[in-house]
Structure 1
Amino acid sequence: MTIHNLEDQNSVLNQFISEIRDSKIQKDSMRFRRNIERIGEVLGYEFSKELSYSSKNVETPLGSKSMHLSKDQVVICSILRAGLPLHQGLLNYFDAAENAFISAYRKHENNEDDFEVVVDYFATPSLEGKILVLTDPMLATGRTLENVLMGLKDYGTPKQIHIVSVIGAIAGIDYIKDIFPANTHLWIATIDPELNARGYIMPGIGDAGNLAYGQKL
């Protein structure tokens, strides 16, 4: 797996990350969603550099210009519900992308620290020969992405897989390295050092789904 950690180089991305972390600013759910969306746009721009391109003549009012345009068919697959703002950020840049959605959540029995990842819902086009982009804003343990990958196996073999994430933990990244194909790319805005006892990223941001859309029962 090739890891592209955008934190390695300072950019305007730092501002968006600081605001989703800030315990005061993140209380504004609309701003939180928009910051996640903007992070998705930045990650999408960086990810686009790895696509395949071919020349095409574009006619202008005054002549023609040869342009290099992507020839890959992209499928953006997001994990409900926290992945929706990140999904929209990518969709802002990939107009012709197909879309897939998966419901995956942690199930804690009796509110204990141990949990299993439950996948309830799939909606996806064929993935055969396409560029699969998996979006998961919080790459914590990596078990959600593992379950999603297993669930997508019946929908075709992608040409390549790209994972787009906002914040990841070292343990989760190490875990998915052994799960995904070797030519997978991970595009991530920042990496945190550890997980707490319940598998949440530290220092992280808290629960991304709750911050974006409110508390769940």
Structure 2
Amino acid sequence: MFEYRAVNKKYAQEVLTQLRNKETSQVEFRKGLVRLGRVLGLEIVEDFETEEKLVETPLGTIYKGIRIKDFEKVCIVTVLRAAWPLTEGLVKIFYSAKQGVIAARRAEEKGMHNREFDIEVNYVKVPKMNGDEILIISDVMVATGSTLIAALKELLKRGRAKKYYIASVISTPVAIEKLGKFAAEANIDLKLFTIAVDPELNDKGYIVPGLGDAGDRAFGT
């Protein structure tokens, strides 16, 4: 099963506008990614199931509240390197989450063929999946979808999670279509949460209007 949701909230769109601005400084760009990570975390947690929880207040009354199911089973995997600030925001919401990292890069020197890049996965360090985890993959730009699919394949080699979420700032229709096909083929429950869906990819595989190189802008390189 696959589903995607665009987070069209005013605050998120204001921060996104700041990130798109080429005049935004490295520090403010990074802070913006952290803010959007928190927004995405709040949106993702709304998809979780809840159950009733009774607590006693300081005044001795019983309050009927809720407990979010599976909250303690969240694992966040960061696609290096641009997504570090995004993950920082996600962890503000999922404060007890386990974490892992995947170092993957597009082989841009080989060029893009049929809107796909060859992907080189250089490093994978993630917690073991036992079938009941909620796995959130943090990736700022989902352009062709090639990197995310490569990451998902690596993760599936190490066990299956109960549900998979992708937290991204900008995605494209091309990537959304590919992720939908992959989710069906892999038989996984996958949901993409993104702040915006941009319409175009240029001939180098960059999203237009996009953010530029999010990693370089976030880390000043």
Shorter-chain TM-score above 0.5: yes
| Identical-pair percentage | 34
1:186 Cα offset (Å) = 1.0
Corresponding residue of 2:220: 214
| TM-score (norm: length of structure 2) | 0.89
Three-state SS of the structure 2 residue aligned to 1:174 is: helix
Is the counterpart of residue 176 in structure 1 residue 167 in structure 2? no
1:42 Cα offset (Å) = 1.0
- More displaced, 198-207 or 182-191? 182-191
Maintained 8 Å contact 2:36/2:169? yes
Three-state SS of the structure 1 residue aligned to 2:182 is: coil
Unaligned runs of at least 5 residues, structure 1: none
1:183 Cα offset (Å) = 3.2
Corresponding residue of 2:99: 99
1:65 Cα offset (Å) = 2.5
In the alignment, the residues of structure 1 paired with residue 5 and residue 167 of structure 2 have an alpha-carbon distance, to the nearest angstrom, of 10
Q: Which residue identity does 1:4 align to in structure 2?
A: R
Maintained 8 Å contact 1:75/1:127? no
Corresponding residue of 1:6: 7
Q: Which of 133, 137, 157 matches 1:134?
A: 137
Q: Which residue identity does 1:36 align to in structure 2?
A: L
Deviation per residue, 1:167-216 (Å, 9 max, x gap):
0111111111101246311111001101011111011010111011122x
Q: Which residue identity does 2:64 align to in structure 1?
A: S
Unaligned runs of at least 5 residues, structure 2: none
Cα distance change of structure 1 residues 185 and 113 upon mapping to structure 2, 3 Å threshold: closer
1:55 Cα offset (Å) = 2.5
Give the alignment of 1:98-177 within 5 angstroms.
98-109=98-109, 112-113=111-112, 115-128=117-130, 129-177=132-180
Is the counterpart of residue 57 in structure 1 residue 54 in structure 2? yes
Three-state SS of the structure 2 residue aligned to 1:12 is: helix
In the alignment, the residues of structure 1 paired with residue 112 and residue 182 of structure 2 have an alpha-carbon distance, to the nearest angstrom, of 23
Structure 1 vs Structure 2 CA RMSD: 1.6
Deviation per residue, 1:31-67 (Å, 9 max, x gap):
1111111111111111111112222333432234232
Three-state SS of the structure 2 residue aligned to 1:204 is: coil
In the alignment, the residues of structure 1 paired with residue 69 and residue 174 of structure 2 have an alpha-carbon distance, to the nearest angstrom, of 35
Maintained 8 Å contact 2:198/2:209? yes
